[in-house]
Structure 1
C-alpha cells in the first residue's frame, strides 16, 4: 500500500463520522431522508476502512498519521492490533445503534441535534482508540465528554439535567486528574508513542515516586469513565437518557474509553516489568475485584430494569481491568476479549430494555411477567445477553471468564477464582429471575403501552423493525463470538494476536 494513503487512513476513519455529524447539525427536522443517508453513508464507509486496516495490520502493515501539536508532543493517530479491536467494535455497534436510534426517535423533536452529537461521540471514541500517545488520547478523551453530555440531557427534563450535571462533575473531574497525570509524565519523558512493553523502564529507579503518583492520577482519571468504585456514581444516574444513549454509554463509548485507557497505560506506557517493580499491580487488582463485587450486589438490589443493567455494567467492565491487572498473557486475553464480548452482550440488553419501554411501557422488573409471549424475539435476545453475562457456554461471556480464571491460576492469584465464582452466582441471582418472569410467569391481560407503536393491533407482536433487528443482530453476534471462538475470525483470535505482540510471544 502507498505510504501516503496508509498515513491518511487513521484520520479518514475519524472523519467518516465527524463530517456527517457536522452536516447533520445543519439539517431541518423534516429532512429525515437526508439525515438517514448521511448517517448510513458514514457508517458503511467507516466499516469499509476499518476492514481494510484490520487486514493490513494483520499482514504487518503500519498506519500512522502525525501532526505537530505541542513542544515535545505530536498529535498521533496510529492503528495497531489493540486500537483496531476497539475501533472495529465501535464501528459495528455504531451501525446497530444508528438503525436503532432512527426507529427509536421517529417523530421525536431535536433529531438533527441528537444525531449530530451522536456522530461526534463516535468520532471521539474512534480518535481515542487510534491515539498514538498520551497527549492525543487526552484530547479525544475530553472531546468524548463534551460530545456525550448533550446526549445525556437530550430529553431536557429536570431528571435529565440533574443527570447531566452529575455526569459533567464526574467526567470533568476525572479529566482533570488524567491531565495532571499526563502532564507529570510529559515532564519526565516527553510524550513518546505507545509501544508494546512500555517506555518507562529506564526511569523506575530514578523517578520512582513520580511514576507512582502519575499512575495513581492516570488510573483515577480513567477510572471515572471505567466506573471503578468510588468513581462510578454518574453511571446509574445517566440512565434517564434515551435507550440508544444508554447503549452507547455502556457498550461502545464512555465506559470502554476508560477501560481501554487503563489497558494502554499498563501495557504501552508502563509495561509489565515496571508495574511489578513499582508494586502497582496488586492495588489495581484489588480495586477491580472490589468493583466487580460491589456492582453485582448493587444490581441485585435494583427494581428498575435499566438501573439493574447499569450496576451490572459497573461490575462487568471491571473484568477488563481485572484481566489487565493480573499481568499474565492468558488473563490479558480474557480482559481484552471481554472489551468486545461485554459490548455485544450489554448493548443487546439495553436494546431489549428500550424495546420493552417504548413498546409496552415496561420499566420495572415486576412488569416483565409474560414478556416472552408478547415479544418473543426481544425476550430471546435478552435471554442470550443475560446468560452471556452470567458466563453460560457457549455465549461470549463464558469465553472471557474462562480465560480470566485460567489467567489468575497462571500467575498464582487463585483468590481471583473465588471472586469470579461469587460474582457469577450474583449475576445469576439478578438475571435469571428476569428470564424466568419473561418466559414462565403469566402475562397481564393488557400492557401499559398497548396503544403505542402498533402494540394494540390484534395479533401484532414485537415492535418496530428498526428496534427489533439491531437487537437480534447483536444477540446473534454475542452467540457467534462464543461458538466461533476457536476460529481465526473471532474476537478471541484478535485478542490473542494483541497479547502476542504486547508480551513479545
Structure 2
C-alpha cells in the first residue's frame, strides 16, 4: 500500500499527455478522481498501519530505498492527503483560462506522490532521494508562466535548492559513516563510542545539514527564493508555502535532529545555540519583511518565512514538548496559510489586483473570500479560539520548560511576531471591509465572488482553522503519542 500511494499520483500524471480528453472538464474529473482515490488509500493505510518496512530498491548493504510508516510520517502523510484534493479542486477554476494547463497538472499531481515519498521514508537516503525529486518536479511549476520574472524566480529556486542539497548531502554521508544504521531511529543512530574525538566535527556537520534541509523552509539567510516564487500560479504558491515544499524541509529537519543525529548529543552544545539563534532571528526577520511588503502574495510569503521558523524553533528546543509544538504548528499552519494564500489567489483571479493598496472595498463585494481570509489572519496572529493559538501556546510552553536562555529569547520573538502579524494581516482586512468614507464603490462594482470550486476549499480550511482552535485535544493527543518513546 505504501508504494501504491507514492506511485499512483505519478502514474496519473504521466498518463495525462497520453490520454485524449474531449474537454478540460473531463481532464479535471480524471485528476480529481485519482487524487481523491489516493487520499482515501492514504487514510485507509493510516488506520491500518503496516508494521513492516518495504524495500523498493537496494543499492548495497544498508543503502536502500525503503518505505515505512511511523508516527511523524503518519502525521505528515495524513496532512498532505487531506489537503491535496482541495488544492487540486481550487486549481481547476484558477487555471480555467490559463495556457499550458496540461503540463501544469502533470507536475502538480506528480508532486503529491513525491511528497508522500518524503513522509514515508524509512531512512535518510530515501528521504534525500525524494527530497531532491521534489525540487525537480516543482521547478517547472515555478516557471509555469514562462515570463522573464518567472524564469528568474525559477533560477533562484534552483540555485538555492542545489546549494541546500549539497549541505544536506554532507550530513547524510556523515550519518551513514558514523551511524549504526541508515534507518530513522528515535534518539538517533550515531555510535557514541566511536565519535567522541570527532564530536565537534559532527556538530558542525549537523549545523550544515540543518541549514541544508532548512533551505526549503526559507530560513535566513536562505529566504529570498520564497517571495520570488510568488510569480507562480496561486495553486503552486499555496502548494509551496503550505503543503509540500516548506513542510518537507521542516519535516526533514525533524528527522535528522530526532532520528539521525539524536538530541542526546546535540542538547546543550554550541550547535543547538547556533541553529536556535538563526531560527529566532528568522522569526523576526520574516515578519518584519512582511510588514513593509506591499504585494499581496509576497507579504504572505514573508509571513511563511517567519511561521516556518516557529516549527524549526520547536525542533531546536530538542525536547518532547518542543517536538509536539513543532508538529502542531506544521499541521495548523498548513490550514491557516493555505487558506490565506487561496483567498489571495481568488482575489487576483477575479480582479487582477496584486497589491495591498488595491484591495480597498473588496470585502463588501467578496465577503465570503475575505471572511475566510479574516479567520486565517486572526489564526496566524494567535487569537485564542483559533488553531494558531494552540500551536504557539505549546511552543512557548516548551521554550519556558527548557530553561535555555535562547529559548526565552524565542518566546520574546513569538510575542513580537504576533504583534507584527496583527499589523500586517489585519491591515488587509481593514482595507477590504472599511475603505473609508470617501471610497468610491463604483470602482469595484464589477467585482464578483469566485465559483464553488474556489469557495469550497476556502470554506473548509476556514472551518477547520476554527474547529481545531476550539477542540484541539484529539489532534494534540495524537501528536503527543507520536513523540513518546524518544530518548532525550
Please, what TM-score do these two structures have when normalized by structure 1? 0.91
1:141 Cα deviation after fit: 0.7
Is 1:132 the counterpart of 2:122? The answer is yes
What is the CA deviation profile of residues 426-457 of structure 1, one whole-angstrom value per residue up to 9, with x for unaligned ones? 1111111111112222454345793xxxx4xx
What is the CA deviation profile of residues 86-113 of structure 1, one whole-angstrom value per residue up to 9, with x for unaligned ones? 1111111111110001111113221111
CA distance, structure 1, for counterparts of residue 178 and residue 443 of structure 2: 62
Is 1:115 the counterpart of 2:109? The answer is no
Task: Give the structure 2 partner of residue 439 of structure 1.
Answer: 433
User: Residue 464 of structure 1: which of 439, 451, 465 is its match?
Assistant: 451
User: Residue 478 of structure 1: which of 465, 469, 484 is its match?
Assistant: 465
Cα distance change of structure 1 residues 29 and 170 upon mapping to structure 2, 3 Å threshold: farther
Unaligned runs of 5+ in 1: 1-8, 456-460
CA distance, structure 2, for counterparts of residue 500 and residue 343 of structure 1: 23
Task: Give the structure 2 partner of residue 85 of structure 1.
Answer: 75
CA distance, structure 1, for counterparts of residue 388 and residue 162 of structure 2: 32
Any conservation in 2 of the 1:29–1:111 contact (CA below 8 Å)?
A: no
Is 1:429 the counterpart of 2:423? The answer is yes
CA distance, structure 1, for counterparts of residue 341 and residue 464 of structure 2: 15
* SS at structure 2 position matched to 1:50: helix
Task: Give the structure 2 partner of residue 319 of structure 1.
Answer: 310
User: Residue 215 of structure 2: which of 219, 224, 245 is its match?
Assistant: 224
Is 1:163 the counterpart of 2:124? The answer is no
Is 1:498 the counterpart of 2:485? The answer is no
Is 1:194 the counterpart of 2:175? The answer is no
Any conservation in 2 of the 1:56–1:62 contact (CA below 8 Å)?
A: no
User: Residue 402 of structure 1: which of 383, 388, 393 is its match?
Assistant: 393
1:191 Cα deviation after fit: 4.9
Is 1:66 the counterpart of 2:50? The answer is no
Unaligned runs of 5+ in 2: none
CA distance, structure 2, for counterparts of residue 385 and residue 191 of structure 1: 42
Any conservation in 2 of the 1:182–1:214 contact (CA below 8 Å)?
A: no
Any conservation in 2 of the 1:361–1:447 contact (CA below 8 Å)?
A: no
Any conservation in 1 of the 2:118–2:248 contact (CA below 8 Å)?
A: yes
CA distance, structure 2, for counterparts of residue 32 and residue 63 of structure 1: 41
CA distance, structure 1, for counterparts of residue 41 and residue 443 of structure 2: 45
1:177 Cα deviation after fit: 1.8
What is the CA deviation profile of residues 455-477 of structure 1, one whole-angstrom value per residue up to 9, with x for unaligned ones? 4xxxxx41121111111111111
Is 1:37 the counterpart of 2:29? The answer is yes
* SS at structure 1 position matched to 2:450: coil
CA distance, structure 2, for counterparts of residue 47 and residue 449 of structure 1: 40
Task: Give the structure 2 partner of residue 234 of structure 1.
Answer: 225
1:140 Cα deviation after fit: 0.4
Any conservation in 2 of the 1:305–1:365 contact (CA below 8 Å)?
A: yes
RMSD: 1.8
What is the CA deviation profile of residues 257-316 of structure 1, one whole-angstrom value per residue up to 9, with x for unaligned ones? 111110001111122211126542221111110000000100001011111000000000
Is 1:263 the counterpart of 2:242? The answer is no
Is 1:275 the counterpart of 2:272? The answer is no
Is 1:411 the counterpart of 2:402? The answer is yes
Any conservation in 2 of the 1:24–1:38 contact (CA below 8 Å)?
A: no
CA distance, structure 2, for counterparts of residue 74 and residue 476 of structure 1: 42
Any conservation in 2 of the 1:29–1:110 contact (CA below 8 Å)?
A: no
Is 1:51 the counterpart of 2:35? The answer is no
> Which stretches of structure 1, 4 residues or longer, exceed 3 Å deviation after superposition?
27-31, 446-450, 501-504
What is the CA deviation profile of residues 52-92 of structure 1, one whole-angstrom value per residue up to 9, with x for unaligned ones? 222234xxx51521134322311111111101111111111
Aligned length: 481
CA distance, structure 1, for counterparts of residue 232 and residue 440 of structure 2: 28
Task: Give the structure 2 partner of residue 101 of structure 1.
Answer: 91
1:200 Cα deviation after fit: 1.3
Cα distance change of structure 1 residues 221 and 260 upon mapping to structure 2, 3 Å threshold: same
* SS at structure 2 position matched to 1:74: strand
Task: Give the structure 2 partner of residue 353 of structure 1.
Answer: 344
CA distance, structure 2, for counterparts of residue 449 and residue 318 of structure 1: 40
Is 1:145 the counterpart of 2:143? The answer is no
